[in-house]
Amino acid sequence: MMIIDDESAKVLRERFKNEMKREVYLKVFFDEEERIEGSRKFLEEFLKELNELSGEKIKFEIFSLQSEEAKRYNVDQAPTILIDPEKLYKIVYLGLPLGEEAWAFIDTIVQVSKDESALKNRSKEKLKQLKEEREVMIFVTPTCPYCPYQVLLSNNIAIESRGLVKSICVDALEFPELADKFEVNAVPHNVINGKNSSVGVQPEDKFVEDIVKGG
C-alpha cells in the first residue's frame, strides 16, 4: 500500500523535477527495540516513495543508535532524521514527519537542495550578526496545523546560517520526557539554547531576533 496518494504523488513528482537543484542525503537512526518496528517500516516506505518521486534525488541511509555514524553525529535518541548533515546543515527531526509535519519536511528538503533559505532579505542580513551557535527546538504534534509553519521557519534559519543554528523538530508525543522537561502544554512550543522562548507561530522578524539574542 502506497503512503503517498496518487494525486499528491503527481504534484510532488512535478515539484521535485522543477525545483530540486541537487541530491539531498538523509541519515535516519533507529534503536533496536521491537516497539519501533512499525515506525521504521512506515518511514522506510515513505522515504522510498520520496526517492522514487524525486528521480532518486532524495537519498537516505538507515543506521542504528549503536553505529559509528550515530557517534559521529552525537545521535542518542530514536527515531532521528538528519537532513544533509554532510553539507554542514544542522536540521534534525526527533520523531517521524507525520501528518501535518510531512509537507514542511518536504519543503525543507527542497530548500536544502537549492542551498538557500526562503527567508526575507532583512532576516538574512540580521542573521549575519550571529557569531555564536544556537540550538532551536520546536515541539510539535502531528495533528497541529500551525506547527509546520514554525518548523519550516526554524529550518530555513538553519539553512541560512550554514551550521551556526541547529534546528530540531521534536514530536512531543514521541518524546514525552523531553516535552515534560520544557513544560510543553501547547504547540508549537519554541526553545532557544535550552530556554523556553515562545509558544505559537512567531513572526519571522521576531523569531530571527530571538535567535540572534539567544532566547
Summarize pLDDT for 136-184 with one digit per residue, the tens.
999 999 999 999 999 999 999 999 999 999 999 999 999 999 999 999 9
Q: Which fold has domain 6-213?
A: Glutaredoxin (3.40.30)
Residue 37: its pLDDT value, please? Answer: 62
Residue ranges per structural domain of the chain: 6-213
Q: What pTM was computed for the model?
A: 0.95
DSSP string, 13-45: HHHHHHH--S-EEEEEEE-S-GGGHHHHHHHHH
Sign of CA dihedral 71, 92, 50, 114: negative
Give me the pLDDT at residue 34, please.
44
